[in-house]
Amino acid sequence: MVLVTGASSGIGAAVARRMTATGDRRLLLNGRDRKRLAGVAAASGGTALPGDLATAEGCRALARQALEAAGRVDVLVANAGIGYEGPFETMPPSVLDEVIAVNLTSPLRLVHALLPAMVRRGSGHVVLVASVAGAVGVGGESVYSAAKGGLCVFADSLRHEVRTSGVSVSVVLPGVVDTPFFERRGAPYRRRVPRPVPAERVAEAVCRAVERRQREVFVPRWLRIPARLRGGAPALYHRMASRLA
């Protein structure tokens, strides 16, 4: 049984379609937009579990509903996310809280609720959908970058903790994805590089990470280069990043 959050559109909906087309996995699908989520569930044969993950109660409710509906969750794809673009000093406090809650705190809460049963069974997989912004940092998106960076470090730490349990942890780091994400955050994508990729390409990476138990997947793959360059040659990286921005 696979639980996918943020499944009402974009990457989450693409993951549902991909998993339906390539295997016999049963799906539990979470999202805030009930109408769109119902459509994705109907098309994929999944079970819709609408709800808002911005609160602790919303996360607890989803974990509880998932276990009541299916009895177990074998794979968690923590994909739900929201964005914000603008100077940090003018960011509304309520938006700051919501970006952290949805992008970082909610995945941790869901993993905390579902991981113990995976460890007891000796099998399971956690997929955290982060962002290249969490590996290199993006100007004007400081809180979003911080939240996604936190997911990456959490994945590394958790992987060490469960290394002998049979549970795998993957982190998928997309670049710019052609979804309603930018429309919803209220600011269009303006940068020249990287270019947007289809949500289906990220969904393929998510499914591949589960099938092959991959630790880290960049989409597209070349985004691994700036991420590594930032750590190995930070001065060169920052000069290149300033030009591309």
- Could you tell me which of 219, 181, 185 has the C-alpha nearest to residue 203? 219
> Measured between alpha carbons, how far is 145 from 133 in angstroms, rounded to an integer?
5
At 71, give phi and psi (nearest 5°). Answer: 90, -25
- Strand pairing class (177-178; 216-219): unpaired
DSSP string over 7-26 = TTSHHHHHHHHHHHHH----
Local structure of 84: helix, strand or coil: coil
Local structure of 119: helix, strand or coil: helix
Q: Which residues are catalytic?
A: 144
- Cβ-Cβ contacts under 8 Å for 147 (sequence gap 6 or more): 99, 100, 103, 104, 134
- Whether the CB-CB separation of 180 and 209 falls below 8 Å is answered with no
